Amino acid sequence: MTLAAMLLLVAIGFCAGGFGALAGVGGGIIVTPLLAIYFGLPMHQAIGVTLLCVIATSTATSSMYVERHVTDVRLGMTLELATTVGALIAALVAHHINRRTLAVLFACFLLYSAGSMIRKAWDSRHAKREEVIPDYTPQNYPAGLAASLIAGGFSGLLGIGGGPIKVPVMLLFMKVPLRVAAATSNFMIGVTAATSAYVYWGRGDVRVDIAAPLVAGVFAGSLLGARISPKIRAFYILMLLVCIAGWLAAQMIYKLLTGGFQ
């Protein structure tokens, strides 16, 4: 690999990790399509590499959330029982799904994520930050476990974290405060992604030459992002991510229609 390509990968990782930490969303969803469209990686390899980026973001940012006592480790561990099972099954199945189908699923998920980010951005304009976390007891574990199983499945299949699925369920059905839900989801994502990453790694779908510079960038970006996030308004970053996600979804659809992703 040329030095220029390596630096480009570091920069992509830095942006994905930084934007992700600033906006409170996983930056992974922009990494997979970038690798698949512009670096010509097969979908399975793009997903395998992205899983490592997801673990890096989760590890770097959740160390800070845990320190601030925002993460509910007990709740996270319980739901991980379901996310890991979903991730394991999906990672085993993903191998037998052809690249075009994976690309179609990914494009759909990109659009869904863009939609949920628009809603999140809109809410962030008015909502005040919860400074003090109210007392709560998680409710409706069956709903939480079911959503976690599905989120884990998507994670293993598409290399994403699954936050857009878990966080709303924790918030609406389990009655967990938003900040706790987001931090706990973030904590879980690393374990979920690692479960499927082992399967991808074992199959040789994790390209070390591509993953190493990307992960280095993700680490730097998310450590910096998590540090300055309390001082920055998420609105503009979310809107920027919506534009990037929309553009990448359009590119993927165009490539699919013109017979790409074979």
Partner 1 sequence: MSRQDVAADRVLSLTLKFGAYTAFALIVAGLLLQLAVPWGAKVAAAGLLVLLATPVLRIVVACLQFLREHDFKYALVSFGVLAIVVLAYVLGVQA
Binding residues for partner 1, rule: CB under 8 A, are: 3, 6, 52, 55-56, 58-60, 62-64, 66-67, 69, 71, 73-74, 77-78, 80-81, 84-85, 87-88, 91-92, 95, 190-191, 193-203, 206, 208-209, 211-213, 215-216, 219-220, 223
Please say which residue, 121 or 215, places its beta carbon nearer to partner 1.
215
Residue type at position 180: V
Q: What angle do CA 109, 83, 209 make, to 5 degrees?
A: 65
Please say which residue, 34 or 53, places its beta carbon nearer to partner 1.
53
d(CA 114, CA 242): 5
Please say which residue, 1 or 250, places its beta carbon nearer to partner 1.
1
Please say which residue, 196 or 251, places its beta carbon nearer to partner 1.
196
First-to-last alpha carbon distance for the chain, in angstroms, is 23
Please say which residue, 170 or 215, places its beta carbon nearer to partner 1.
215
CB of 116 to partner 1, least distance (A): 25
Q: How many CB atoms lie within 10 A of CB 92?
A: 13
For tokens 């480009």, the residue is 8
Residue closest to 104 by CA, chosen among 36, 200, 11, 28? 36
Distances (CA, A) of 259 to 100, 253, 254, 255: 9, 10, 9, 6
CB of 8 to partner 1, least distance (A): 13
Distances (CA, A) of 45 to 51, 95, 148, 209, 242: 10, 11, 24, 12, 24
- Is residue 219 within 8 A of residue 60, CB to CB? The reply is yes
Q: How many CB atoms lie within 10 A of CB 62?
A: 22
CB of 197 to partner 1, least distance (A): 6
Please say which residue, 185 or 251, places its beta carbon nearer to partner 1.
185
CB of 241 to partner 1, least distance (A): 23
CB of 10 to partner 1, least distance (A): 8
d(CA 37, CA 41): 8
CB of 77 to partner 1, least distance (A): 5
Please say which residue, 35 or 55, places its beta carbon nearer to partner 1.
55
CB of 106 to partner 1, least distance (A): 22
* 62, containing H or E segment: helix 43-67
